[in-house]
Chains A and B, each alone.
Chain A
Amino acid sequence: MDKAYLLIDFGSTYTKLTLVDIEHEEIIATSKAITTVETNIMTGFNQAFDLLKQKYDKKNIEIIKKLACSSAAGGLKMVTVGLVPELTVEAGKRAALGAGARVLATYSYEMTNDEISEMKNMDVDIILLSGGTNGGNKKVIIENAKKIAIHFQDIPIIVAGNKCANDEIREIFDKHHINYTITENVMPNLNEINVLPVREKIREIFMKNIIQSKGMDKAESFIDGILMPTPAAVLKACEVLSKGTSELSGVGDLIVVDIGGATTDVHSLSEGYPSKAGINLKGLQEPFAKRTVEGDLGMRYSALALLEVSGEKMIKDYIDSNEISERCQYRHNHIAYVPENIDDVRFDEALAKVATKLAMNRHVGHIEIAYTPLGEVFNQYGKDLLEVKYIIGTGGVIVHSENPDKILEEGLFSKQEPTVLKPKNPNLKVDEKYILSAMGLLSYDLPNCAFRMMEKYILCEIGG
């Protein structure tokens, strides 16, 4: 009997199952059904599971473990509070995004009462409180802790600020019986970022607290663990593929573009140091595994927002249509819409090209030229991704497209914008079997198996 892992993604729309033969390192079958988080999460799961059962030979396959990730019920929603917008606020935001969260809002300096009431109206799962380098400013983080302690007694809080403020914050939070945890500073020294401890704490709280509050606890008895939010699973898979494991060497720098209905996510796995000599690296340090989320670039719910940022003219560069705003409106109103004719498929692809181009432009770093008495000098802000080896596309529109390369090509370096540091000559690949999140889960237990499967299913077999 072959041993198998069942990997589950409770997505915002679909519950997707992937059954993996861990001995032969093969995908046995996949299935999906609509996520049913409002009633009982297991209804949708069971539908998908029934479909899956028809696709494999139960006599020869034994499921030994079931692992899940989830972005159901709106995903993991966070607010981050820091000190200076470009420094600890940005560092906190990057840590939260890297943990797979949706960042609903960020706050800087001492929070006002208006900001507190604004935050009260949001449905927040976790608050990340940071501010000050170690030994730096502690006044602001302590003031913010006091306000949070009074107004948010039911929300788990992660403290990742100036370590010198921790004792006082602990006193404040204990007095108010707050559910909090203290971890390493997200920016221990100026411009030096430390996202991993925060990411791990977010994942722990997600596993412990969030799952119950999202009606996911019904799944817990059947599943061995809901390990993390779905985007964190994707990022984990990318990390393993890029860096390798203790036994296997990684494939090097890569980017994943994930175009969804509501957002476009870009993950880059790269230090992003300047690839040319004589360039000054400026600003806050970038995490090796970086995720950005563009809430205004999406194929359905965010189609109107996409039109607003790109303008009709940019979409017209990709498709000749006189009904651009009507078609975006229709997609916004019908989030489950599947294009039926070739013209609508082309329109979706045009939107995907725009989303790829804009999301990549925002994700990658850029060069600014300063004119000095000593001639031109170059400053780099963000990551230099010119030499990245792979761009991997995922998300419905790319996976189902006949021309995924054409969509991904929009994410390449362009001579028209030479200061935008997008990849020059990467291999374009597609996550055709939609396995990235599943491989992220698998890599927690069996990193070597997950690595080889990604090589086989994403890098070699498919794509250009």
Chain B
Amino acid sequence: MDKKTVVIGVIGSDVHAVGNKIIDYALSNGGFNVVNIGVLSSQEDFINAAVETNADAILVSSLYGHGEIDCQGLREKCDEAGLKDILLYIGGNIVVGKQEFKDVEERFKKLGFDRVYPPGEKIEKGIEDLKKDLEI
């Protein structure tokens, strides 16, 4: 069967490059076709990459606490770009300070994310969920 394509990158004015490389490595080893757009990526970069590569999922990383602002409107733009129902995941330190994760998760689900991961979550969990969601 063809490999599933996932777009990964670090959104906004965020330059945390190390985790991005680890995710790239892990997903590639996990049998995915990884399109890594790197750090400092705008919503448009994610969407353009997903359109052109016909991606099955977009995995957004955010490590610097501004994830919520950076991700506003991403789902709507995906719909607009013809990426209806594409899987959207996010993980990292997506909000500032110590907040109740349940609240955070709810807020990001409202933004249109299918899965939201707390700080320190292992990428293996993400891969497991991806396989479940993509039925592989």
Contact = CB atoms under 8 A, between A and B. Distances in A.
A83 B14 contact: no
A137 B54 contact: yes
A374 interface: yes
Contact of B35 (A88, A132, A190): A190
Interface string B1-24: 011010000000111000000000
A88 B14 CA distance: 26
Nearest to A131: B52
Nearest to B33: A135
A372 B14 contact: yes
A190 B64 contact: no
B53 A136 contact: yes
B40 A87 contact: no
B49 A190 contact: yes
A248 B54 CA distance: 45
Contacts of A136: 5, 52-55
A190 B15 contact: no
Interface in B26-44: 33, 35, 37-40
A187 B13 contact: no
B97 to A, nearest CB: 13
B119 interface: no
Interface in A120-138: 131-133, 135-138
B54 A374 contact: no
Interface in A160-219: 187, 189-191
A280 interface: yes
A138 B54 CA distance: 8
B5 A84 contact: no
Contacts of B73: none
Interface in A62-101: 83-84, 86-88
Of B39, B49, B54, chain A has the most CB atoms within 10 Å of the CB of B54
Query: For the side of the interface on A, what is the size category?
Result: 20 to 34
A4 B51 CA distance: 54
Given A280-B40, A282-B40, A377 B13 contact: yes
B52 A88 contact: yes
A374 B52 contact: no
Given A132-B54, A135-B33, A135-B54, A373 B48 contact: no
**Interface bracket on B:** 20 to 34
Contacts of A88: 52
Given A370-B13, A371-B13, A377-B40, A83 B65 contact: no
A411 B13 CA distance: 32
Contacts of B51: 83-84, 137
Given A280-B38, A370-B40, A377 B15 contact: yes
A374 B63 CA distance: 12
A374 B15 contact: yes
Contacts of B40: 280, 282, 370, 377, 379
A280 B20 CA distance: 15
A187 B54 CA distance: 14
Contacts of A137: 51-54
B54 A373 contact: no
Nearest to B17: A280
Interface string A360-390: 0000000000111110010100000000000
Contacts of A282: 40
Give the most central of A86, A132, A133: most B CB within 10 Å: A133
A88 B55 CA distance: 16
Contact of B13 (A86, A87, A138, A372): A372
Contacts of B64: 372-374
Contact of A190 (B39, B52, B65, B66): B52
Nearest to B82: A109
Nearest to A85: B48
Nearest to B39: A280
A310 B88 CA distance: 45
Nearest to B48: A84
A132 B51 CA distance: 8
A106 to B, nearest CB: 15
13 contacts: A83-B51, A133-B52, A135-B53, A136-B52, A137-B51, A137-B53, A187-B52, A190-B35, A190-B37, A372-B64, A373-B64, A377-B15, A379-B40
List 3 tightest A-B contacts by C-beta distance, closest first.
A136-B53, A372-B13, A137-B54
Given A84-B48, A187-B52, 14 more contacts: A86-B48, A88-B52, A133-B53, A136-B54, A137-B54, A190-B37, A280-B15, A280-B40, A282-B40, A370-B13, A372-B64, A373-B65, A374-B15, A374-B64
